[in-house]
Structure 1
Amino acid sequence: MNKRTWGSVLAVSMLAIILAGCSSNTKETIDSTNAGASASEGPKYTFRLADTHPEGYPTVVGDRKFAELVNEKSGGRIKVEVFPASQLGEEKAVIEQVQLGAIELTRVSTGAMGGFNKEYEVFSLPYIFNSDEHLWKFLESDKGSALLDSLESSRMKGLAYYSSGARNFYSTKPLAGIADMKGLKVRVIQNKVNIDLMEALGANATPMAYGEVFGALQTGVIDAAENNYPSYDTSNHYQQAKNLILDQHQRVPEVLLISKITWDKLSDADKKIISEAAQESVATQRAEWDRFEKQSEEKIKAAGVTITEVTDFTPWREAVKPVIEKYRADYSDILDAIKKAE
């Protein structure tokens, strides 16, 4: 090899070394830039989230916090549009649309889920939770998380639980004790546990959609219904049914769902964004629930509603024992986990 050829080889070699170094530095810069921008890169989505409750209700506040967090975590790439006040339909119809992927997300009562996932009927069993603290200790347990995951077999994905307080009966007729339940036509969420519960209390169950209750109370189609303070307030049911008894027969949490069809289309990174946003929205929803519940209580008292405090729950618990025993075998593992969470 002559000197000229050797010089050329040396020059090429030096150039290769320099370029390799530059390439390495450039890659580090690009990787660093991508790390900061990755959330905003990828497919863009606009999802709809259906809720039956009105604007400003604690679950809708939770929905909107979830939407805000998804937008923030995705750098604006994933948008969630919230549709409150049953704009996209009542709970049962919306759940069916979520299963089909026609609506991507919804917030519904776990009481409405029994017809879609048998395990969720357990939440309709009376007096299985002693307090909100007991309920949340269970929801945050491994078994509570497993119940969210179990929805995948029903073509949905459970993302998070929301607060809904204790449910109480209210009526157009005097309601001062358990004896007054006898013969009442009571609206219930449509599931068989609720129907059995009414029978155990001597009442007649009338399943119907939430949006139909006000008119049914007004016209006498039903005598009574049951729900928590905020729902009793915002639905204006207190205007028609002015007798409330704080029997606290159920604590039925809410659940935030996404269609399994939608979920399966997402990348692992986007699934993480959705999951984290849902879980982080819970604190906002629970705080709003506590505030709103107190506000509703004061409003209802000011409206002249007759409110009866239950000081002895024994007659109520004794009356509904047959309901719990009827379903104990179906939900033994869940009931054991609930008992363990006391």
Structure 2
Amino acid sequence: MDPTPWRRGRLLLAALATAALGAIGLSAAPAAAQEWRGWNIHAADYPNGIGMDAFTRMVGERTSNRIRMRTFHSAQLGQQDEAIQQMRLGTIDFANFNLSPFNNLAPTTNVVTLPFLFRDVGHMQQAIDGPAGEAIAQDLERIGIIALSWYDAGARSLYTTRPVRTPADLRGMKIRVQTSDLWIDLMRALGANPTPLPFGEVFTSLQSGVIDGAENNWPSYESTRHFEVARYYSTTEHSNVPEVLAVSAQRWRRLNDQERAILRDAARESATIQRRAWAERERVSRERVAAAGVTVIEISDRAPWSALMEPVYAKYAADARLAALVRQIRELR
């Protein structure tokens, strides 16, 4: 009997076994580490920065540093409109954004931007953690952004270079707004002259008289030192727009299910941390500007203000889907 075919069979089996072992070794090998870049408009010690740093730390720990995230705080990678475009292109991997600049891109973000919609912070959180958040996340995904969790941004009020006690006091004043048609129409409805500007230009514009005022929350007013050039803060609390912690859809598509679950869990936990830090920072900021001599004008009756918002609701919540979401939010108890 010729032994050659038998020897050849043995050699072939050995080769196949070696290849199989090699394949097992390759599949068991750790995935290459991913380096992620993140954007944040605020300083690292701001509540949003604290939340984002907690998020990146948890993701690093839970992925054994397979996903290594670095947040570039203080708008190092550009202003918000630029960062949104970079996120959609995939050159920024994750970010914390205010929702107002998405008004022209994701229709449901208009709903949570509507003035005088939320009764208080608790009402806003209930809505954004529920029906409003689900609807907005769907819209954002369509433009290449995956929402993971929601941060607080406080109630926004007016601060100006001269006193504002009623809507009539705003007539003709140049008020900085974010780049959003809704915010422009909101200020027009109040009789003001809306002036879209990047956030980083507000201080010098107030100082030089290019604008007469702006609107934002207590921590933003205090941390940017806008209170030094706009000495009147009127507690209109006209808006309580939440913020989103999100990742680029391009990055998201390259993750497996386990990694996605890690990111979602870490993002939700970071939101709890951010909200707690936000409440404390809001209290401290108000105390600081009051101690600096700012005149705080308490607006106890907001009915004359909200009555002027009917044209805004008619324009931005007329669509059946958006009107239904407004009703759903108002009915939350």
Structure 2 equivalent of residue 231 of structure 1: 220
Structure 2 equivalent of residue 108 of structure 1: 97
Of 320, 323, 326, the match for 1:332: 323
| Matched-pair contact (CA < 8 Å) for 2:106–2:136 | no
- SS for the counterpart of 1:245 is strand
- SS for the counterpart of 2:97 is strand
State the TM-score, normalizing by the size of structure 2. Answer: 0.88
Query: CA separation in 2, counterparts of 1:325 and 1:131?
Result: 23
- SS for the counterpart of 1:160 is strand
Shift of 1:267: 1.3
Shift of 1:340: 2.3
| Matched-pair contact (CA < 8 Å) for 1:177–1:245 | no
Q: What is the RMSD of the two structures over their aligned residues, measured on CA atoms?
A: 1.6
Shift of 1:112: 1.5
Query: CA separation in 2, counterparts of 1:174 and 1:123?
Result: 28
Query: CA separation in 2, counterparts of 1:282 and 1:328?
Result: 28
Structure 2 equivalent of residue 200 of structure 1: 189
Of 151, 162, 170, the match for 2:159: 170
**Cα 1:259–1:127, aligned 2, differ >3 Å: closer, same or farther?**
same
Query: CA separation in 2, counterparts of 1:127 and 1:175?
Result: 18
How do 1:72-151 and structure 2 match up within 5 A? Answer: 72-151=61-140
- SS for the counterpart of 1:159 is strand
- SS for the counterpart of 1:265 is coil
Shift of 1:260: 0.6
Deviations 1:245-302 (A, max 9, x none): 0010000111111111111111111111111111111110000001100010000101
What number of residue pairs does the alignment pair up? Answer: 305
Of 42, 59, 63, the match for 2:52: 63
Query: CA separation in 2, counterparts of 1:318 and 1:230?
Result: 28
| Matched-pair contact (CA < 8 Å) for 2:167–2:191 | no
How do 1:1-342 and structure 2 match up within 5 A? Answer: 41-330=30-319, 331-342=322-333
- SS for the counterpart of 2:127 is helix
Amino acid corresponding to residue 255 of structure 2 in structure 1: L
Shift of 1:179: 1.9
Query: CA separation in 2, counterparts of 1:146 and 1:250?
Result: 19
Any stretches of 5+ residues in structure 2 without a counterpart?
1-26
Shift of 1:178: 2.2
Shift of 1:118: 2.1
Query: CA separation in 1, counterparts of 2:88 and 2:172?
Result: 37
Query: CA separation in 1, counterparts of 2:182 and 2:131?
Result: 24
- SS for the counterpart of 1:107 is strand
Shift of 1:80: 1.1
Shift of 1:328: 2.3
Shift of 1:173: 1.5
Query: CA separation in 1, counterparts of 2:284 and 2:119?
Result: 23
- SS for the counterpart of 1:82 is strand
Shift of 1:145: 2.3
Any stretches of 5+ residues in structure 1 without a counterpart?
1-37
Shift of 1:41: 3.9
Query: CA separation in 2, counterparts of 1:149 and 1:277?
Result: 20
Query: CA separation in 1, counterparts of 2:317 and 2:113?
Result: 13
Structure 2 equivalent of residue 8 of structure 1: none
Shift of 1:334: 1.6
- SS for the counterpart of 1:129 is coil
- SS for the counterpart of 2:108 is helix
- SS for the counterpart of 2:253 is helix
Amino acid corresponding to residue 109 of structure 1 in structure 2: N
- SS for the counterpart of 2:222 is helix
After TM superposition, what 4+ stretches of structure 1 lie above 3 angstroms from structure 2? Answer: none
| Matched-pair contact (CA < 8 Å) for 2:110–2:316 | no
- % identical equivalent positions: 36
Structure 1 range deviating more: 327-336 or 102-111? 327-336
State the TM-score, normalizing by the size of structure 1. Answer: 0.86
Amino acid corresponding to residue 336 of structure 1 in structure 2: R
Structure 2 equivalent of residue 26 of structure 1: none
Deviations 1:12-42 (A, max 9, x none): xxxxxxxxxxxxxxxxxxxxxxxxxx9x943
